[in-house]
Amino acid sequence: MVSMCSNLKKFIFLLFILQNYCFADENKKQLIDLIVPAVNQNLKQNKITKHGLGAIFKMRLLEWKDGTTVTVFVLADEQSLHTEFCKKVLSVFPYQMRKSWNQLVFSGSGQAPIELNSKEEMISKLISTTGAIGYLRTSDLKEGVKKLHIQSGSQY
Tell me: the pLDDT tens digits for 30-47? 445 799 999 999 999 999
pLDDT score, position 22: 54
Residues 90-112 pLDDT 10s? 999 999 999 999 999 999 999 99
Q: How far is CA 129 from CA 40, 93, 113, 123, 140, in A?
A: 7, 27, 14, 10, 17
End-to-end CA distance of the chain: 63
pLDDT score, position 1: 55
Q: For each successive 10 residues of the chain (156 residues), what is the average pLDDT?
A: 62 60 48 86 95 96 96 96 96 96 95 96 97 97 96 68
pTM of the predicted model, to two decimals? Answer: 0.78
Amino acid identity at 134: G
Strand partners for 146: 39
Instruction: Residue 126: name the closest of 151, 108, 145, 143 by CA.
Output: 145
pLDDT score, position 152: 79
Q: How far is CA 152 from CA 88, 119, 156, in A?
A: 16, 28, 10
pLDDT score, position 38: 98
What is the three-class DSSP state of 29?
Answer: helix
pLDDT score, position 33: 79
Which burial class, exposed, middle or buried, applies to 136 when counting CB atoms under 10 A from its CB (0-12, 13-18, 19+)? buried
Contact 122, 25 (CB under 8 A): no
